[in-house]
Amino acid sequence: MRALLWRDIRIGIRAGGGALIGVLFFLTVVAVVPFGVGPDLNLLSRIGPAILWIGALLAALLGLDRLFQGDREDGTLDLLLMQEHPLALTVLIKCLAHWVVSGLPLVAASPLLGLFMNVEPLAIGATTLTLLVGTPAVTFIGAVGAAVAVALPRGGLLVSILVLPLAIPILVFGVSAAYAAVEDPAPFLPPFLILTAITLLFSVIGPVAAAAALRASTD
Amino acid sequence: MRLVAENLGASRGGDPVFSGLSFSLAAGEALIVTGPNGVGKSTLLRVIAGLLRADTGLIALERDHGAEAGVLAENSHYLGHRNGMKRELTVSENLDFWQTFMVMEGDAARMPVADACAVLNLDHVLHLPYGYLSAGQQRRIAMARLLLSHRRLWILDEPTAALDLAAEEAFAGMVNRHLDDGGLAVIATHQPLAIARQATLSMRARAQDEGALS
């Protein structure tokens, strides 16, 4: 299993920047917002955490369809399906590797992009922390969508649409936790803990559902 | 150890491809599946590998006294049309991965990656990215995977496509050694293979009178 983790991370880094594309998309989304809403620093700093979260969510959705498609195209998926290892565990490991390659760079880039939006340091910290906890959930849910759409040659957008409704709670609680860190009356901990719970829940449901979808999709 | 199929039938996209197929293969034997394109050879192999569900019938690996000997898929190597290797990784990274991933704890009979490649005369390309190799070399590396971990049944779908004569011979030697060790093999092919103990299953286009076993 550790071998699979390392292999997927290595491919993600080497395959010509799957990781980089997500970060670039994130950068693009965040960079155009100040041009769109105008140079009102107070407004920017107020909407900053939300824009960061939306940008990260879209960037995370962008690369999801590749989760199983590469393995399917070269026949690796057939072999993964035939092994003694529980398939759900294999999927979980693939999700973790995918998150390390495409989710973690988004988290790492968010403080810098927060500066673009004139977000204050505490809010930047809160946003980065919520992204760190919340983006794995996007990957786990996305695995289900990616598994359902694995047989479709252009499944990318379909995956995003399938996954988006389920990703909304992550966005809601992520953004509210980030805001709660700076706005006084709202408590930070409850939405943050709910976000953590969502991630843990989907880390169980996602791989199991994705494994079932992969088994059903063989042809 | 026997591979037993009874009244096997499968379909693709709702259309039946073959039905009523029965055969039995003893340890040390290879089943050569022949027939024209589209007759269902690959489908049969995918059914055996557990990648497609059979519509009717069953297939299992049985011990000599009739008990089932583990899950068929977990005791099989499957080499399909696609090689299951990553173009971005080097040959040795690819093979190392499959070896670590396929050999379960406590299993024996693994061959070092370099030795497996030497069997197929490819030990000089270990450091190259897999994508740089020619089609025939890629196929041979995929074959080397069969040697990395011991599995009783080899399921090979047109293994010798794109191979030169020397590689074909090396491949036949590999299969013969596997059979000598008490292994089984199911091979779909269009080319005659120099395999010692083989039975032939010729599939015909008509769905009713499938499977003349000779």
Distance in Å, alpha carbon of A143 to nearest chain B alpha carbon? 20
Distance in Å, alpha carbon of A92 to nearest chain B alpha carbon? 15
- So what's the pLDDT on residue B66? 67
**Number of structural domains chain A divides into:** 1
Closest residue in B to A11 (Cα) is B88
**Dist. CA B184–CA B164, nearest whole Å:** 24
- So what's the pLDDT on residue A184? 74
- So what's the pLDDT on residue B214? 46
Nearest to B82 among A11, A14, A75 (CB): A75
Q: Is B50 left (phi over 0), alpha (psi -120 to 50) or beta?
A: left
Residue numbers in A near B84 (CB within 8 A): 74-76, 78-79
Task: With CB atoms and an 8 Å threshold, state whether A10 touches B89.
Answer: yes
- So what's the pLDDT on residue B15? 84
Task: With CB atoms and an 8 Å threshold, state whether A219 touches B97.
Answer: no
- Domain of residue A60: give its range: 2-218
- So what's the pLDDT on residue A15? 67
Closest residue in A to B97 (Cα) is A3
- So what's the pLDDT on residue B204? 79
Distance in Å, alpha carbon of A151 to nearest chain B alpha carbon? 13
Q: Is the pLDDT of residue B41 over 60?
A: yes
Q: Note the pTM of the prediction, 2 decimals.
A: 0.90
Distance of CA B184 to the CA centre of its chain: 9
User: Which of A7, A69, A101 is best to mutate for the B interface (most B CBs within 10 A)?
Assistant: A7
Q: What is the share, in percent, of chain B residues with pLDDT greater than 70?
A: 92
Token pair, residue A31, equals 């960079």
Per-position pLDDT tens, chain A of length 219: 888 998 988 888 886 656 788 899 999 999 999 999 888 889 998 899 999 999 999 999 888 888 898 888 889 999 999 988 899 999 999 999 999 999 999 999 999 999 988 899 999 999 999 999 999 999 999 999 999 988 887 777 888 888 999 999 999 999 999 999 888 788 889 999 999 999 999 999 999 999 999 988 876
At residue A81, φ and ψ (nearest 5 deg) are -70, -25
* Residues B73/B49, Cβ–Cβ less than 8 Å: yes
Q: Is the pLDDT of residue B212 over 60?
A: no
Mean pLDDT of B18-35: 90
The beta-strand segments (E) located in B112-191 are 153-157, 184-188
Can you give the length of chain A in residues?
219
**CB-side neighbour CA atoms (13 Å) of B185:** 32
Q: Is the pLDDT of residue B74 over 50?
A: yes
- So what's the pLDDT on residue A167? 93
- So what's the pLDDT on residue A64? 87
Closest residue in B to A84 (Cα) is B74
Distance in Å, alpha carbon of A47 to nearest chain B alpha carbon? 41
Task: With CB atoms and an 8 Å threshold, state whether A82 touches B97.
Answer: no
Residue numbers in B near A14 (CB within 8 A): 88-89
Nearest to A11 among B49, B80, B86 (CB): B86
**A11 interface with B at CB cutoff 8 Å:** yes
What number is the ipTM of this complex? 0.87
Task: With CB atoms and an 8 Å threshold, state whether A82 touches B74.
Answer: yes
At B140-184, the pLDDT tens digits run 999 999 998 888 899 999 998 888 888 999 999 999 999 998 899
Nearest to A79 among B78, B87, B100 (CB): B78
At B112-147, the pLDDT tens digits run 888 888 888 888 899 999 999 999 999 999 999 999
At B89-111, the pLDDT tens digits run 999 999 999 988 887 766 665 78
Q: Is the pLDDT of residue B58 over 80?
A: yes
Beta bridge partners of B200: B32
**CB-side neighbour CA atoms (13 Å) of B4:** 13
